[in-house]
Amino acid sequence: MAESNSGDSQPVPTNVMSVAKRRRLDEELLLHFDEDSSCSVDSDTSSSSDSSSSSDDDDLALYEEMFQQLCTPPEKRPKVKSYLEKTVAAYSDEEFRRNFRLSRSVANALAAEFAKSPHYPSRTDRGGLPPNSPQEHVLSFL
């Protein structure tokens, strides 16, 4: 029985450790941004033990990963060209109802009403992009 009680402290789950570590890293990152000096290392921190230097390496790797996520532009997603004209037009009435949750005739009636409404952007001088049709607006909303 003594062996089962020897490990009273239970291990902390890794997700709790990573949250605490990220919180600490975020605080350190904010402190670095608040300082007027460049990101130089103080002599006090450079004389720390090997375990803290490996921790610093881990921190640096995490900073670099966070910087890459924040500063890289999102990748362009491939789009299907002429989706409405080719793909949606080829849908059977059942497929259309399954994908848009209403019948094709109701969707066409909604598009016709939207085209008459003052909310439909009727101007064509939008800077080079062709304006979307009322059907494109309605189906993308659905």
Name the domain count of the chain: 2
140: pLDDT strictly greater than 90 = no
CB 121 within 8 A of CB 131: yes
The C-alpha atoms of residue 48 and residue 53 are separated, in whole angstroms, by: 7
The mean pLDDT value for 40-57 works out to: 56
Q: What is the pTM of this model?
A: 0.44
Q: What is the pLDDT of residue 118?
A: 87
The C-alpha atoms of residue 49 and residue 101 are separated, in whole angstroms, by: 63
Q: What is the pLDDT of residue 4?
A: 46
Task: Please check whether residues 59 and 17 belong to one and the same domain.
Answer: yes
Task: Please check whether residues 90 and 56 belong to one and the same domain.
Answer: no
> Which of 87-91, 106-110, 114-118, 128-132 has the largest mean confidence?
106-110
Task: Please check whether residues 90 and 111 belong to one and the same domain.
Answer: yes
Residues of the domain holding 108: 83-123+131-141
> Which residues, in sequence order, are CB contacts of 133 under 8 Å at separation 6+?
84, 111
The C-alpha atoms of residue 18 and residue 25 are separated, in whole angstroms, by: 10
Tokens of 59: 């921190």
Residue scoring higher pLDDT (56 or 134)? 134
Q: What is the pLDDT of residue 16?
A: 61
